């Protein structure tokens, strides 16, 4: 069964969202390195790589279903940070936005009675829960370290993130 047109369009848009997420994480990685948080920068770089795999999975799936893969323009992102909490806040907000896109694509697959796409997108639905939670974990811990003015905690969080 070939991929329905509107659904193919939504999946192609999702490729762009995953690229955008990848680009965001890479930009945040660079910016974190610039302010000396190598561990957080490493964590963001790993996340960048994960987002790329999310885009690849979509490309493969669309082609498997005889759909046309169409790339879209994505924005170049540069960040300048004062605190790592800004990076995790941005990442967290980006993940929430991406969750909404995934849910919309899933809802469309339900509407179109496309069962394989629903099953395919389930992986993304679960992945988003994990990714939001990971970002929130660091965001909360970093915010606490900032409010306690505890550089020691901040450095140990940076170290932990660097082990990813």
Q: Segment contacting Fe ion (CB under 5 A): 35-43, 54-62, 74-82, 138-146? A: 54-62
- Is residue 20 within the footprint of Fe ion (CB under 5 A)? no
- Is residue 54 within the footprint of Fe ion (CB under 5 A)? yes
DSSP class of residue 113?
A: T
Q: How many secondary structure helices (H) and strands (E) does the chain include? A: 5, 0
Task: Give the nearest residue (CB) to Fe ion.
Answer: 54
Contacts of 115 (CB under 8 A, 6+ apart): none
Cβ-based nearer residue to Fe ion, 62 or 154: 62
Q: What are phi and psi of 112, to 5 degrees?
A: -85, 5
Select the residue interacting with Fe ion from 131, 135, 141, 154 (CB under 5 A).
131
Q: Segment contacting Fe ion (CB under 5 A): 47-55, 67-75, 83-91, 109-117? A: 47-55
What whole-number distance in Å separates Cα of residue 15 and Cα of residue 73?
Answer: 11
Q: What is the closest distance, in whole angstroms, from the C-beta atom of residue 128 to Fe ion in the complex? A: 7
Q: Helix (H, G, I), strand (E, B), or coil: what is residue 100? A: helix
Q: Segment contacting Fe ion (CB under 5 A): 17-25, 32-40, 65-73, 113-121? A: 17-25
Q: Which two tokens stand for residue 90?
A: 């941005």
What whole-number distance in Å separates Cα of residue 108 and Cα of residue 22?
Answer: 24
Cβ-based nearer residue to Fe ion, 17 or 145: 17
Binding site residues, Fe ion, CB under 5 A: 18, 21, 51, 54, 131
């Amino acid at each position: 069964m070939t991929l329905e047109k509107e659904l193919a369009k939504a999946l192609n848009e999702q490729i762009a969202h995953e690229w955008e997420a990848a680009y965001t994480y890479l930009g945040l990685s660079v910016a974190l390195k610039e302010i000396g948080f190598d561990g957080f920068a490493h964590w963001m770089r790993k996340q960048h790589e994960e987002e790329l795999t999310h885009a690849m999975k979509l490309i493969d799936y669309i082609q498997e279903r005889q759909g046309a893969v169409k790339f879209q323009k994505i924005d170049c992102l540069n960040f300048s940070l004062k605190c790592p909490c800004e990076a995790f806040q941005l990442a967290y907000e980006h993940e929430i936005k991406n969750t909404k896109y995934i849910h919309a694509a899933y809802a469309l697959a339900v509407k179109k009675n496309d069962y394989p796409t629903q099953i395919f997108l389930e992986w993304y639905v679960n992945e988003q829960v994990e990714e939001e939670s990971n970002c929130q974990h660091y965001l909360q811990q970093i915010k606490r370290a900032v409010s306690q003015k505890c550089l020691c905690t901040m450095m140990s969080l940076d170290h932990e993130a660097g082990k990813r």
